[in-house]
């Protein structure tokens, strides 16, 4: 009997829940796959007011076929957490696919995994990928060899379907897409900075202001430590 496809989603404090719950909803429906959500310390992780409990420790996981790192405001601290970065490197070493959603690609960058690779990220933080020698890609989903990365938050669903198509074929990806009725038709064309009203873009950019300065500093420090 063949072993299940081992998919590991690595969480950290301050993670954005939809970054991983979106892909989890898709990937848990992939026949033959075992999806494990884990963190450095194990136990509980709070994400956007939701508590995810009974998580195993990353160090207790021997290997995985697919590694996924989501993003969130906690990315700033995660990039500088040497123990967390070490676990990401270890699991990525033998994984068939190394993946991220949103600013999770900055964590992959801090782990030294994206040098010379195209990678997607949330639009507000995408340029910081260059600090790690990566090539910022504005695509909803970017693929470069074994690296598959999704853009901001909701792009995690697109990423997961892309990954399913890679692992099990387009027919399976479309089957899961229909099963979850993923047929996005947003009420506003404001989901990208290129299409959002100028006032909306200014408002969101202002919200990220202080966090932007802190994350740039953390990214530069992580890049120097590589």
CA dist list (Å): 174 to 69, 156, 221: 24, 16, 42
- Please give the Cα distance from 133 to 138 (Å, whole number): 16
User: How many CA atoms lie within 13 Å of 205's alpha carbon, on the beta-carbon side?
Assistant: 10
- Please give the Cα distance from 79 to 222 (Å, whole number): 6
Q: Which two tokens stand for residue 65?
A: 């076929």
Q: Give the other-Cβ count within 10 Å of 15's Cβ.
A: 29
- Please give the Cα distance from 98 to 64 (Å, whole number): 10
Q: Are 84 and 13 in contact (CB under 8 A)?
A: no
How many whole angstroms from its chain centre is CA 187? 25
Q: Environment class of residue 51 by beta-carbon count within 10 Å: exposed (0-12), middle (13-18) or buried (19+)?
A: exposed
Catalytically annotated residues: 102
Question: Sheet holding 97-101: strands in order across?
Answer: 33-39, 5-11, 66-69, 97-101, 147-150, 141-144
Coil, strand or helix: which one is 189?
Answer: coil
């Amino acid at each position: 009997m063949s072993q299940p496809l081992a998919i590991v989603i690595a969480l950290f404090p301050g993670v954005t829940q939809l970054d991983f719950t979106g892909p989890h909803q898709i990937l848990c429906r992939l026949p033959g796959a075992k999806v494990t959500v884990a963190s450095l310390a194990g136990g509980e992780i709070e994400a956007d007011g939701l508590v995810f409990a009974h998580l195993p420790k990353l160090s207790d996981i021997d290997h995985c076929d697919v590694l996924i790192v989501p993003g969130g405001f906690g990315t700033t601290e995660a990039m500088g957490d040497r123990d967390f970065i070490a676990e990401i490197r270890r699991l990525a070493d033998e994984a068939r696919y190394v993946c991220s959603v949103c600013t999770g690609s900055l964590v992959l960058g801090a782990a030294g995994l994206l040098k010379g690779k195209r990678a997607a990220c949330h639009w507000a933080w995408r340029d910081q990928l260059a600090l790690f020698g990566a090539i910022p890609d504005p695509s909803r989903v970017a693929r470069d060899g074994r690296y598959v990365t999704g853009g901001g938050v909701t792009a995690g669903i697109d990423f997961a379907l892309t990954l399913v198509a890679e692992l099990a074929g387009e027919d399976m990806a479309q089957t899961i897409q229909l099963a979850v009725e993923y047929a996005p038709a947003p009420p506003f064309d404001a989901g990208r900075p290129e299409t959002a009203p100028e006032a909306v873009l200014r408002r969101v950019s202002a919200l990220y202001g202080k966090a932007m300065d802190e994350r740039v500093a953390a990214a530069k420090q992580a890049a120097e430590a590589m």
